[in-house]
Amino acid sequence: MALQLRPNCEFCDKDLPPQSTEARICSYECTFCATCVERELRNVCPNCGGGFAPRPIRPVGEWRPGLSLARRPASPTRVHLSFSLDDIRAHSDRIRAIPPEKR
């Protein structure tokens, strides 16, 4: 199953097209921009509590049959957080000192 490649930062709503090197994802594909991950979320996913990694870039060209952005397009559905800023900060403050691999 291919990544959804969500089109926006769930925190600030910045556009994150499939080729963006600024997109960060957690293991559930929650998607945020690098700036929000570093400054606002402090490497704590506000949804699951996990850490983040750079989102891979899906090749535009079809190097193998059926495997390309054209054949497996990015999701057009914008996703937004359902938590308040205060709740997000409290969540992050509670677990940010624990390394992601130990959460």
Q: What is the pLDDT of residues 24-66, one digit of tens each?
A: 999 999 999 999 999 999 999 999 999 999 999 999 999 999 9
Confidence of residue 1 (pLDDT cuts 50, 70, 90): confident
Domain map (residue ranges) of the chain: 23-97
Annotate 60-85 with b (16+ C-beta within 10 A) or e (fewer). Answer: eeeeeeeeebeeeebeeeebebeeee
Q: Which pLDDT value is given to residue 59?
A: 95
What pTM was estimated for this model as a whole?
0.92
User: Which pair of tokens denotes residue 66?
Assistant: 């059926």
pLDDT in tens, 82-95: 999 999 999 999 99
Q: Which pLDDT value is given to residue 21?
A: 98
Helix (H, G, I), strand (E, B) or coil at 70: coil
